[in-house]
């Protein structure tokens, strides 16, 4: 009887030992095969591509804009090796970086303005980790030479008697806008930069729908051409008088490719103050800004612009700036202060 009890106890003990051993083994296996839980956000930080953490602004941005959206853009530009301060102000350095980037992309208009096309392109650059070479197309601004425009490609560049274009500057993407001219032959002065030419075409089309007759008279002028024009005016009127209505070479907006002088049959296609009194001239004063143009030398602002009133002289600056300038009845000089 005792032997039987001992045998049963021994068997039960052995079974209990086996069960315990299996349980411990399973626990060890589980600890070996199942990794310790990790913080999901930490894991995402390690694996998520860097560009996904950069949110590019949705709004259009340009010189003198400020805020978080500008800072986000600056951080993205810094990510592709532009050494600019993410200070939240769309300053000359940010404008330079955007312009230089645009010049390295064949499909982008060169404006210095952060728009939808630039946003899309910059997103692709970040996603594909495309190499960008800052300053390879446009030299970094040199503040030691403030009288020379460092970024003549941006559409908000200020060209006047105090701010001249760099030697040898020629605008990019010059085309002939599909609008009326009072002459048929091709001349260089028919040309404008593509971005301005497209806007001019849209404006002329709108004027046509109103029954108006706008004609384009004079757009792009080279340095040499402006030199000849100024010399001729000096010879005819004297230097002091010529300086009130004619720009010296390097100081003419026409050299940027962003300007077009316009006229109408009512003034015999002349460039005269009387144009401002025509239906076409009055319509431009009210609607030019809708297409990104301003009357660059308005009446009553001669002390600021240092040029006489020229209702025919249209300068492309983009719709945002043009609207602000025309609504406030100010000049480009005042807008950029």
Q: Which residues does the annotation mark as catalytic?
A: 310
C-beta separation of 171 from 109 below 8 A: no
How many CA atoms lie less than 13 Å away from 64 in the CB half-sphere? 11
| CA gyration radius, the chain | 33
């Amino acid at each position: 009887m005792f032997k039987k009890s001992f045998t049963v106890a021994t068997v039960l003990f052995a079974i209990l030992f086996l069960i315990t051993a299996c349980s411990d083994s399973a626990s060890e296996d589980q600890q070996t095969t199942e990794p310790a839980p990790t913080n999901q956000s930490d894991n995402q930080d390690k694996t998520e591509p860097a560009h996904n953490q950069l949110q590019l602004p949705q709004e259009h941005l340009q010189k003198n804009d400020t805020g978080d959206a500008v800072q986000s853009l600056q951080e993205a530009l810094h990510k592709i090796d532009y050494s600019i301060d993410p200070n939240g102000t769309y300053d000359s350095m940010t404008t330079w970086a955007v312009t230089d980037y645009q010049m390295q992309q064949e499909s982008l208009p060169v404006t210095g303005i952060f728009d939808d096309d630039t946003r899309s392109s910059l997103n692709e650059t970040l996603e594909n980790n495309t190499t960008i070479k800052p300053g390879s197309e446009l030299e970094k601004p040199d503040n030691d030479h403030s009288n020379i425009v460092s970024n003549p490609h941006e559409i908000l560049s200020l060209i006047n008697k105090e701010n001249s274009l760099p030697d040898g500057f020629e605008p990019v993407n010059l085309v002939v806008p599909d609008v009326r001219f009072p002459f048929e032959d091709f001349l260089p002065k028919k040309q404008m930069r593509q971005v301005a030419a497209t806007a001019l075409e849209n404006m002329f089309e709108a004027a046509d729908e109103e029954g108006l007759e706008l004609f384009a008279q004079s757009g792009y002028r080279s340095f040499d051409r402006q030199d000849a024009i100024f010399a001729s005016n000096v010879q005819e009127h004297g230097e002091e008088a010529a300086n009130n209505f004619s720009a010296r070479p390097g100081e003419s907006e026409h050299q940027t490719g962003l300007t077009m002088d316009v006229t109408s049959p009512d003034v015999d296609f002349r460039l005269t103050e009387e144009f401002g009194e025509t239906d076409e001239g009055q319509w431009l004063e009210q609607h030019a800004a809708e297409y990104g143009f301003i009357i660059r030398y308005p009446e009553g602002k001669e002390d600021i612009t240092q040029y006489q009133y020229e209702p025919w002289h249209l300068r492309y600056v983009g719709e945002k700036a043009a609207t602000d300038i025309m609504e406030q009845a100010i000049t480009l000089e005042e807008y950029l202060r």
